[in-house]
């Protein structure tokens, strides 16, 4: 058994329980501090930075009697962030010196003039971090810390989408705690996306519970989709890129024309993501955005939730070309007139659902948009 000192996000006891695997079991914790160290906020980053600072005191909690398996779970979780175990001497609020283990990078870094706030983090990030940790710890014993480091950004995006989903309007006719019963929950795959599988019972329309149903879903996240539109020239920009799923289904034309699109980063508003993706994928600085709907892209197979926009842009001059990001994207763009876009949709030349949806929304609102340009 060992004692551990936590100065950052694991001071949030619900998160600590998830990482330890203790569920609702009591934790033997007490307030403590580590001399000549501080916990700081750097920029807009949500997580704390640990630094050696003479005269400072890093406040935190001391967890007693951690088992070897729990220590391995902590190493798995903290290792995904590049943190390693170090032995220190902490002082409890009662004045006792205690030898404890603490996780921080081998290079503790530099302090700043801003102290990291647990209260602020709990307000803005605790729920997302808790959901991400639940997915991460489902892989304990199946992946190593390095693999988790690669997977964790996707987990945070999916966690942010899960939190957003929970906040949508509830169905007044149903009580999920009564009408849906989870028998088991499995995580067979995770990388950029995640595949999760449940055995579930659902209340039927006759009032009875169904038998146990096996269902799976691709967990993606939330995405912003924006169709750039120039109301003065009455034209739009489309981008084209190779889409592996279209190729994998055997379609002989896996290069697909689409609007600009990309996943929301954790905590990022959809409007900001739309503007960011327009710059990254098409080199466009958008003016105003018009919401063109919010929806799931495929309710039978995916959790992906789309925020659709039509974005005003100046599409005159030489605005087309090729581009992409450091994520392996290879993109080209083209500008076409509104009438050509509609002819292509009527001729079923396009097969991207967000493109067709935003184009049809544009058709419905085009005269209004041109009148306000």
CATH code (residue 360): 3.90.79.10
The reply to whether 198 falls in a domain is no
Residue 28 within a domain = yes
Residue 281 lies in a domain: yes
Q: How far is 118 from 78, CA to CA, in rounded Å? A: 18
- Structural contact between residues 5 and 100, judged by C-beta atoms closer than 8 angstroms: yes
* Boundary-marking domain end, from 70, 88, 122: 122
Question: 230-258 as b/e, with b when 16 or more CB fall inside 10 Å?
Answer: bbeebbbbbbebebeebeeeeeeeeebbb
Give the integer Cα–Cα distance in Å for 18 and 222. 24
pLDDT tens digits, 145-194: 889 999 999 999 999 999 999 999 999 999 999 999 999 999 999 988 99
What pLDDT is attached to residue 111?
Answer: 63
Map tokens 């088992």 to a residue: 67
Q: Determine if the pTM surpasses 0.75.
A: yes
Containing H/E element for 239? strand 235-242
- CB burial of 272-300 (b: ≥16 within 10 Å; e: otherwise) equals ebbbbbbebbbebebeebbebeeeebeee
Domain assignment of residue 315, yes or no: yes
Kindly state whether residue 286 falls inside one of the protein's structural domains: yes
Q: Do 234 and 108 fall within a single domain?
A: no
Q: Are residues 118 and 250 in the same domain?
A: no
Question: Which CATH number fits the domain that encloses residue 37?
Answer: 3.10.490.10
**Domain annotation covers residue 92:** yes
Do residue 230 and residue 357 come from a single domain?
A: yes
Residue 211 lies in a domain: no
Band (47; pLDDT cuts 50, 70, 90): confident
Q: State pLDDT tens for residues 54-96.
A: 888 999 999 999 999 999 999 999 999 989 999 999 998 888 8
In a shared domain, residues 258 and 116: no
Our count of domains for the chain comes to: 2
Judge if 234 and 354 occupy the same domain.
yes
Identify the domain containing residue 33 by its residue range: 2-122
The predicted pLDDT at position 320 comes to 72
Distance of CA 37 to the CA centre of its chain: 31
Q: How far apart are CA 27 and CA 101, in angstroms?
A: 16
The residue among 68, 91, 122 that closes a domain is: 122
Contact 355, 310 (CB under 8 A): no
No. of helices (H) and no. of strands (E), the chain: 10, 16
Express each pLDDT in 310-359 by its tens digit.
Answer: 999 999 987 776 666 556 779 999 999 999 999 999 999 999 999 999 99
**What's the pLDDT score for residue 108?**
62
Determine the 3-state secondary structure of 130 from DSSP: helix
Residue 203 resides in a domain: no
pLDDT at 321: 65
The yes-or-no answer on residue 327 being catalytic is yes
Model confidence pLDDT, tens digit, residues 251-284: 999 999 999 999 999 999 999 999 999 999 999 9
- 68, 94, 327, 348: the catalytic one is 327
**Residue where one domain finishes, among candidates 70, 99, 122:** 122
Once rounded to an integer, what is the mean pLDDT over residues 87-111? 85
């Amino acid at each position: 058994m060992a004692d551990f000192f936590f100065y950052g996000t694991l001071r949030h006891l619900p998160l600590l329980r998830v990482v330890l695997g203790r569920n609702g079991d009591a934790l033997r914790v007490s307030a403590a501090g580590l001399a000549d160290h501080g916990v700081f906020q750097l920029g807009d980053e949500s997580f704390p930075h640990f630094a050696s600072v003479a005269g400072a005191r890093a406040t935190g909690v001391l967890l007693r009697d951690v088992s070897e398996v729990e220590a391995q779970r902590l190493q798995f979780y903290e290792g995904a962030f590049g943190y390693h175990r170090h032995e220190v001497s902490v002082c409890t609020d009662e004045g006792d010196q205690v030898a404890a283990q603490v996780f921080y990078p081998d290079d503790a870094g530099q302090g700043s003039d801003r102290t990291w706030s647990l209260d602020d983090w709990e307000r803005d990030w605790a729920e997302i971090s808790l959901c991400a940790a639940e997915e991460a710890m489902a892989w304990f014993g199946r992946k190593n810390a390095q693999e988790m480091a690669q997977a964790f950004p996707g987990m945070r995006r999916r966690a942010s989408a899960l939190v957003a989903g929970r906040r949508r309007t509830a169905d007044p006719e149903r009580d999920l705690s009564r009408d849906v019963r989870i028998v088991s929950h499995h995580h067979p795959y995770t990388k950029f996306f995640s595949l999760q599988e449940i055995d579930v019972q659902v209340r039927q329309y006759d009032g009875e519970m169904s038998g146990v149903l096996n269902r799976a879903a691709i967990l993606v996240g939330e995405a912003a989709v924006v169709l750039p539109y120039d109301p003065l020239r009455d034209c739009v920009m489309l981008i084209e890129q190779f889409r592996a799923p279209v190729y994998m289904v055997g379609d002989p034309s896996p290069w697909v024309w689409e609007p600009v699109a990309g996943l929301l980063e954790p905590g990022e508003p959809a409007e900001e993501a739309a503007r960011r993706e327009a710059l990254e994928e098409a080199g466009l600085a958008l003016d105003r955005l018009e919401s063109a709907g919010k929806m799931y892209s495929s309710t039978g197979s995916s959790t992906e939730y789309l925020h659709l926009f039509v974005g005003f842009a100046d599409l005159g001059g030489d605005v087309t070309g090729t581009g992409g990001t450091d994520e392996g994207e290879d993109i080209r763009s083209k500008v076409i007139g509104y009438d050509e876009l509609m002819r292509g949709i009527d001729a079923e030349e396009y097969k991207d659902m967000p493109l067709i949806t935003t184009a049809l929304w544009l058709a419905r609102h085009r005269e209004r948009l041109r009148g306000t340009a």
